[in-house]
Amino acid sequence: MRSKSKSNKYIQSHQLHQAKKEANNHIYLGGFVYFLIFSYLTFLGFQASQAEKSNHSLAEPGSILQEEMFTGMIIRNEVLVASQQEGALQYYVPEGEKVKKGSLVCAVDQDGQLQALLEKSVRENKSKITNSAEISDTNYQYLQAQIRNYVINSEDNPFEHLYAAVNSIDKAVQDISSMVVVADPAAFQSVLDTLKMYEERMRNNGTYYQAPKSGVVSYAVDGMEDVTRESFKPSDLVRQPTSISREERQVAQKDSVLFKIVDNGHWYVAARISQEGAAYLQDRRFVTMHFTQKNDKIIAEVDSLYQEEEYNYVIFKLDRQMNDFLMERRVPFKLIYNSYTGIKIPNAAVKEMQVFPVPRTAVFTDRASQQIEMQVTDPEAVGNVTLRQIPIKVYYRRDNSTFVAPINEGDVLRPGDTITYTDPTGASQTKLFHTLLSPEVVEGVFVLNKGFADFKRIETIYKESGYRIVDETTSYGVRIYDKIASDASAYKEFQVILE
């Protein structure tokens, strides 16, 4: 029994020892796993400290207009009408209204007494006309309102309602003549006779001014109405308009311009243009003029294109929307030469890189890396020359050449370096040699899709200030919706990027 007890104790001791050993093994394993996790986290932290946060934009489809701004001078066929005397000036036709020849446009009240007589006559006869009439309350109020309207307006605007009063009051009575019996028609007729008498007096005194021809009435007189299509010369473009507003001409002076009648058939825009603009217009009969201040565009005929001294000049002929420019003499406009479409990217995203052309067959793959083999100097080697494999990146191919640059910062390619490669025919293992020539400069952007800066080639279609359009089909190039670095100067090839 005693021997058996000792045996049990031995077994228990052995089992305890084994348990402790296994526990220690677990501790060692846990420590090792912890060390691996700690090392990995440390690596990630180091990588994050070396990485850059990305400042990127998307390579999106877009377009850029090739355009140029000019300043033109408007030329119209304009007939001026001047005052024959001094006096208060009143207009009856609004700016831009089309009138026939002989239409009343304005009048000059020399003595200032005509309106006073009109007002007195209307006031004296108003009650006789309205109060004695056997009419209904509705028609009574209507007729009274018509006459009251002209009395009130004549007080606020002393002269301009004289001409309108004759026809308007007469029309008001005619409109209700079938419904109204005027008790004192002689009194009403007296008002009309008085108005017509004053009208005739003004005509005889020459104070009415009529349109000398059919056209559009304008009061925007600027002293350049003498310039016509036929008389225009380049020096007219530097003349300065001296505009006089309608408000500044409330009193007419003798021989001062009252208004002008403008032909509304055609008008012109003359301008000095660039060499590029002249080349664009050379073989075109019609172009679209974009008037930026009006936010409008008009198709115009190229009426004349010529060169004088070292400058180019053009005259456009237009046949619509003249009223929109009646108040203008100088007008900015632009010509759109072309519209370019593709991938639109900021110019700041573009960077240049030097790449070397090598024969296509000189590039081979070793351990999942594209490489070339280059001769390097080694004093200990036979002939002081040895071969070294250089990991490279292929940027693009053209014809029989592949354009490459080293991946590692320590590797450098220079003009004159010798690349070796095997005979591409496979007929022998003969080594061929290629001497590097001068590198080509290629434009590109850094694509950030993979978490690092990956230089991709671009081919610029058109560039302006701020942006450019690049071809979306360029081999080894950027593609639509690639994430690209907005400022290429802040990145270098293969740089790790943080989101």
HSE-up (13 A, CA, CB side) for residue 418: 10
Whether residue 328 sits in one domain with residue 231: yes
Scored b (16 or more CB within 10 A) or e, 46-56 reads eeeeeebebeb
Whether residue 166 sits in one domain with residue 256: no
Whether 67 is in a domain gets the answer no
- Looking only at the bridges linking them, the beta strands covering 483-485 and 98-99 are unpaired
State how far the Cα of 93 lies from the Cα of 81, in Å rounded to an integer.
14
Q: What is the pLDDT of residues 205-230, one digit of tens each?
A: 557 889 999 999 998 899 999 999 99
In the three-class reduction of DSSP (H, G, I as helix; E, B as strand; rest coil), residue 422 is classed as strand
State how far the Cα of 25 lies from the Cα of 19, in Å rounded to an integer.
10
State how far the Cα of 204 lies from the Cα of 196, in Å rounded to an integer.
12
Give me the residues of the chain with pLDDT under 50, please: 1, 4, 48, 51, 132-133, 135, 152, 154-163, 176-183
Rounded to the nearest 10°, the torsion over CA 468, 473, 479, 484 is -40
Whether residue 279 sits in one domain with residue 373: no
Whether 87 is in a domain gets the answer no
- Looking only at the bridges linking them, the beta strands covering 311-318 and 286-291 are unpaired
Whether residue 413 sits in one domain with residue 451: yes
Q: 155: which residues sit within 8 A by CB, 6+ positions away?
A: 119
Report the pLDDT value the prediction gives residue 124, as an integer from 0 to 100.
63
Report the pLDDT value the prediction gives residue 158, as an integer from 0 to 100.
43
Total domain count for the chain?
Answer: 4
Report the pLDDT value the prediction gives residue 125, as an integer from 0 to 100.
60
**Across-strand partners of 68?**
335
421: domain range? 351-457
Whether 168 is in a domain gets the answer yes
Report the pLDDT value the prediction gives residue 122, as an integer from 0 to 100.
58
pTM greater than 0.85: no
Whether the CA torsion 236, 242, 245, 251 is positive or negative: it is negative
Element (H, E) at 31: helix 2-50
Whether 100 is in a domain gets the answer no
Residue with token string 């003498």: 226
Whether residue 241 sits in one domain with residue 138: no
State how far the Cα of 193 lies from the Cα of 201, in Å rounded to an integer.
12
Instruction: Answer for the pair 122, 100: CB distance below 8 angstroms, yes or no.
Output: no
Picking from 156, 175, 204, the residue at the C-terminal end of a domain is 204
Whether residue 336 sits in one domain with residue 387: no
Whether residue 337 sits in one domain with residue 256: yes
Whether 464 is in a domain gets the answer no
- Write the single-letter amino acid at 258: L
Whether residue 226 sits in one domain with residue 334: yes
Question: CA 437, 440, 442 angle in degrees (round to 5)?
Answer: 160
Instruction: Answer for the pair 407, 367: CB distance below 8 angstroms, yes or no.
Output: no
Whether residue 235 sits in one domain with residue 138: no
| Environment class of 252 (CB within 10 Å of its CB; exposed 0-12, middle 13-18, buried 19+) | buried
Whether 65 is in a domain gets the answer no
Report the pLDDT value the prediction gives residue 380, as an integer from 0 to 100.
80
Whether 224 is in a domain gets the answer yes
Whether residue 181 sits in one domain with residue 125: yes
Whether 180 is in a domain gets the answer yes
Q: 422: which residues sit within 8 A by CB, 6+ positions away?
A: 361, 429, 430, 431, 432
Picking from 342, 373, 391, the residue at the C-terminal end of a domain is 342
Residue with token string 């004289």: 162
Instruction: Answer for the pair 354, 85: CB distance below 8 angstroms, yes or no.
Output: no
| Environment class of 246 (CB within 10 Å of its CB; exposed 0-12, middle 13-18, buried 19+) | middle
Whether residue 222 sits in one domain with residue 177: no
Whether residue 332 sits in one domain with residue 230: yes
